[in-house]
Structure 1
Amino acid sequence: MNRTATISFSFKAALASTLGGILLTAGATTALADYPERPLTMVVAAGPGGSNDRAARVMSNFLAEELGQPVNVVNRPGGGNLLGHEYLRQQAADGYTLLRTTAIPYMTINQELQGASFTIEDFQPLNLVDIDTSMIASSTRGDYDSIDDLIAAISDNPGSVSMGVQPTSSDMINATLFLEAIGLSVDDVRVVTFDGGGDVRTGVAGNQFDFGVVGEAGLRQMSSEIEPLMTFSREPMSDVWDAPHVLEVVDQHGVEDYPHVLSGSIRGYFVHYELMEEEPERYARLVEAFENIANNPEAIEAHHEQDLTIDWMGPEASREMMLQEHESLARPEFLQIVQPD
């Protein structure tokens, strides 16, 4: 081959390579520009009225603005969020179906105790927005206005004091560990169970039982109706509640080595894990949309009006926290407490 032919061949090869790159880039850009082409679905793995449902409905409005397509909220409650989680996994991993749920403890319980077809690793968080600390509370119309009064009543009259709680929840684990640490047990109270935290909160405010153990965030809207008795936090929450935290209380009872304080319910927004690999542009677009909303003053105000949080943690840090909390919760002695019947 002569020099002229070599130069001609090299030029044609370079041109072909350049055009190929342009076409690939254009194809990726077009694919991203076309997404989403139709409405999205936001699955809520819980019933209407609870914090997950309220957050999804607020978020869906702002997400529709970001993406240019409606976002329809669909409730799929049941089985400790199992039905909603299974429902997402049955949908295509194409970015058109999202999930709002309480990942911890329910994904752990689904996986470890309920024979779920998935593992927690199959879900990719876009953002964890809410860590809801467990709290013991009673009604302002009830008989107890301090944790000491409640403990004394349980000790003096085993079986007569009633406790409202979700049976498969971090709240139940925290309550059990606390009672056992101070020399009591769940058998010393009458347990009244509910399917959702919203029902427990309503029961607390309505004085339907003597005390409830439930996430504190949802109680803030009804603070005038409830008496905070103790938070399951490692530090005081005095900026929100006038109540001692669990480590302070057990210390007063001479407990030197408290077993564990679970973080409570951890909620957020999720997609299929496969979306990151199979549709990376769509995944990136969703992450961008959620981050924009988390920094949108109007969205922040809309969430705060309903006592909802919208802080930006991001997918990487969210996944790390989710898996760490899953590992902590998946201890046999904890799972035994929330073993479904």
Structure 2
Amino acid sequence: MTLDRRTFTHALALGSLAGPLSSRAQAAYPSKPVRIICPFAPGGGSDFIARVAATRLAERLGQPVVVENRPGAGGTLGSELGVKAAPDGYTLLLVAGSYTVNPALYKLSFDPVADITPVIQLSRGAYVLCVNAKLPVKTLQELLALARKDPGKLTFASSGPGGHLHVVTEYLLDMAKVKATHIPYKGTGPAINDLLAGNVDMLFGGTEGMMQHVKSGKLRALAVGTAKRLPAYPDIPSVAESGLPDYDVVAWHGLVAPKGLPPAVLARLNADLNAVLKAKDMEDRLEPTGVGAAGGTPEQFGALIQAEIVRYGKVIRDAGIRAE
């Protein structure tokens, strides 16, 4: 009886300590390097955002934050690796708009909503619709009128079939009730090169890659995809004010973690990243490219992901888009 009583008392003591021990373990976060999985190749816009965030976050956490590029299958390979990692805060996944189109294109091995913990939206940017400067149009209305005269004659480039650029362009064409022929490329770089050469007529691309060619006079910017004009480029109208008032497409990036991330770790990451995004040097780094810092709560970012999965799923089904 004495042994049983002692055992019982010892068990109670251990139980009472479990909570404080767990809290202390979470409070010690991070005690080792953190990695951010970027499911795209080095050198692109997603890689740029991941590395800027990693550098600033490392300063806040006091631990190295390493970017690990895992490209392939439209970002699904790296996403699977990130989502299925241990939910301890030491593996984060960079996600972009493509994360919300992939559920309608691929048979995923994870639930893109239920299997993640949204952490924060990092950036809010825009795509700009550009045409080769030799194309005889100066506004979006003129481009759409030209497309209506000869359905399917005009061509549009994308970074690949089923990619975010493909989907948002089809979204615009469907809303405008016009037809154009899709010419897919293996990445945004080759698509821009062929647009510059005049081999395709138009491309919806990120401002960071397109505006240098607009400034040189080789491309003409017709509209930005966000609902309002960009402060960095106030002379370029939005698609919404150019006749399609319901069109609003944001080129965004954010961080998620696997499902089950401890609340204390989530709160630490969200607070530190919000502080990073509000810093003046971050604004100075992003604004010249037409990209703005976002921030906000995990709940806000989760709502964005869910809403865009629904929206782009419909666009993909209506347009019959398939990944290749």
Q: Matched residues in 2 for 1:134 and 1:327: separation?
A: 20
Q: State the 1:142 CA deviation.
A: 5.7
Counterpart for residue 210 of structure 2: 219
Q: State the 1:116 CA deviation.
A: 0.2
Q: Tell me which of 263, 286, 307 is aligned to 2:249.
A: 263
Q: Matched residues in 1 for 2:212 and 2:257: separation?
A: 30
Q: State the 1:135 CA deviation.
A: 3.0
Counterpart for residue 110 of structure 1: 102
Q: Matched residues in 1 for 2:117 and 2:189: separation?
A: 26
Counterpart for residue 82 of structure 2: 88
Q: TM-score, normalised by structure 1?
A: 0.76
Counterpart for residue 127 of structure 1: 120
SS across alignment from 1:82: helix
SS across alignment from 1:120: coil
Task: Please list every run of 5 or more consecutive structure 1 residues that lacks an aligned counterpart in the other structure.
Answer: 1-12, 252-257
Opposite residue 281 of structure 2, the aligned amino acid is E
The question of 1:292 aligning with 2:275 is answered yes
Counterpart for residue 273 of structure 1: 259
**Which of the pair has more CA radius of gyration?**
1
Stretch of structure 1 that moved more, 145-154 or 79-88: 145-154
SS across alignment from 2:131: strand
Residue by residue over 1:141-166, the C-alpha shift from the partner in whole angstroms, topping out at 9 and shown as x without a partner, is 66544335534554555555432113
Is residue 91–residue 257 contact of structure 2 (8 Å, CA) maintained in 1?
yes
Q: Matched residues in 2 for 1:131 and 1:117: separation?
A: 28
Q: State the 1:232 CA deviation.
A: 3.2
1:136-215 correspondence runs (5 A): 136-140=129-133, 144-151=137-144, 153-155=146-148, 160-166=153-159, 167-186=161-180, 189=181, 191-197=182-188, 199-201=190-192, 203-204=194-195, 207=198, 209-215=200-206
Q: TM-score, normalised by structure 2?
A: 0.79
Q: Tell me which of 56, 59, 82 is aligned to 2:53.
A: 59
Opposite residue 25 of structure 2, the aligned amino acid is A
Q: State the 1:286 CA deviation.
A: 1.5
How much is the aligned-residue C-alpha RMSD, in angstroms? Answer: 3.3
Q: Matched residues in 2 for 1:50 and 1:154: separation?
A: 31
SS across alignment from 2:40: coil
Counterpart for residue 286 of structure 2: 303
Is residue 181–residue 250 contact of structure 1 (8 Å, CA) maintained in 2?
no
Q: Matched residues in 2 for 1:239 and 1:284: separation?
A: 32
Counterpart for residue 10 of structure 1: none
Opposite residue 315 of structure 1, the aligned amino acid is P
Q: Matched residues in 2 for 1:301 and 1:169: separation?
A: 29
Q: Percent identity?
A: 23
Q: Matched residues in 2 for 1:294 and 1:58: separation?
A: 10
Q: State the 1:73 CA deviation.
A: 1.0
Counterpart for residue 3 of structure 1: none
Counterpart for residue 3 of structure 2: none
Opposite residue 260 of structure 2, the aligned amino acid is E
Opposite residue 92 of structure 2, the aligned amino acid is L
Counterpart for residue 8 of structure 1: none
Using a 3 Å threshold, how does the CA distance of structure 1 residues 297 and 181 change in structure 2: closer, same or farther?
Answer: closer
SS across alignment from 1:41: strand
The question of 1:316 aligning with 2:299 is answered yes
Using a 3 Å threshold, how does the CA distance of structure 1 residues 332 and 240 change in structure 2: closer, same or farther?
Answer: closer
Q: State the 1:96 CA deviation.
A: 1.0
Q: State the 1:212 CA deviation.
A: 0.7
Residue by residue over 1:268-309, the C-alpha shift from the partner in whole angstroms, topping out at 9 and shown as x without a partner, is 11111221xxx3332222222212212223333333355543
Q: Matched residues in 2 for 1:34 and 1:233: separation?
A: 41
Q: State the 1:81 CA deviation.
A: 1.3
Q: Matched residues in 1 for 2:249 and 2:238: separation?
A: 13
Q: Tell me which of 233, 238, 243 is aligned to 1:240.
A: 233
